[in-house]
Copies of this chain bind each other. A is one copy, B any other.
């Protein structure tokens, strides 16, 4: 009666190519960090903001510098920093070395986010190291590090 059952799954999918193989774990890192940050009370942070925490220097960084590192325009970085400043995660202080510039610095709340994100990733790394075995996981990180160095981005 039913015409429903689609032809019986012609094959078991071609193996994923490197694009999907990188995308899936990468998206999982983003998802996990976001989930853990929400649980830690930082629910007003969205994935687009993570790059700021990742790229900012301990003593603060210029907005233009952050934009270059993140490879977005200074206007887009301004938008992200505005939001983060409004939500109390960063503050702008005048740069004593250059009257045009200000330094974007993490507040105490911003520092807490950085620590929470780092802890979240470390938990995930622990899970993955357990899955693959520590040696293979370390080899994975070394290989990815070499690729990243070659690509030459932040």
Contact = CB atoms under 8 A, between A and B. Distances in A.
B28 A144 contact: no
Nearest to A71: B27
Nearest to A136: B143
Interface stretch (A36-44, A78-86, A104-112, A125-133): A125-133
A84 to B, nearest CB: 18
A131 B146 contact: yes
Given A16-B148, A19-B33, A132-B146, A153 B24 contact: yes
A147 interface: yes
A48 interface: no
A131 B146 CA distance: 8
A56 interface: no
Contacts of A100: none
A16 B154 CA distance: 9
Interface in A1-30: 3-4, 10, 15-30
5 contacts: A19-B29, A22-B25, A22-B144, A25-B148, A131-B146
A13 B26 CA distance: 21
Contacts of A19: 26, 29-30, 33, 50, 54, 121
